[in-house]
Amino acid sequence: MKKNIAVVLGSFHKNEADEMLDEVKKFSQQHDLNIVEIKWVPGSMEKPLALKRLLLNSEIDGAVALGIIESGETKHGLVMATSVVDAIINLQLELMKPIGVGILGPEILPNQIPTRVRPYAVAAVAAVKEMLSE
C-alpha cells in the first residue's frame, strides 16, 4: 500500500534543492511512496514549522527535509543545524511520524556539496520508507 509523504526544501540553495527533489521523486515512484505535498521555505530554520504543519494532516504518513547548511565565517551554521535537527527529532517523537533528514552540513564547504546532493536526498527518503514499513 502506498504511503503519503511530504517534502520540505530550503530555497536558499535552489539549484541543489531541485536536484535533491528529483532524487526523492524518483525513489518515491519506485518504492510505493506518494508525494502529496512539496513545501519550499526560505532556509533550514523554517523547516520544523513547515514539517509540523504538514505532519498534522492525518493523510500524511511521513516527510523528508532537504537542504544545505553551508560553512560560514562564524559558528552560526553549527548552532542552527543543531537546533533544526533537534526540533525535527522532537517532531518525530511528538507526532510518531518519520522525517528523513537530507540536510547537508553543518559547515559543509562549497566544493563538498555537488557529490553529496543526490546521495543525501536518497538516504533521507529511504529512511522514511524503512520507518513507514515497520
Instruction: Please give the grid coordinates belonging to residue 8.
Output: 520540505
Mean predicted lDDT score pLDDT of the chain: 95
**DSSP helix/strand/coil, 91:** helix
- Contact (Cβ atoms closer than 8 angstroms) between residue 63 and residue 97: yes
How is the chain split into domains, by residue range?
A: 3-132
CA–CA dist 44, 27 (Å, integer): 23
Check pLDDT > 80 for residue 69: yes
Question: Alpha-carbon torsion 47, 62, 109, 107, what sign?
Answer: positive
Does 72 have pLDDT greater than 90? no
Residue of 76, 82, 86, 112 marked active site: 76
Q: With contact defined as beta carbons under 8 Å apart, do 107 and 133 qualify?
A: no
Is 31 catalytic? The answer is no
Residue, of 107 and 57, whose pLDDT is higher? 57
What is the CATH architecture assignment of 3-132? 3-Layer(aba) Sandwich (3.40)
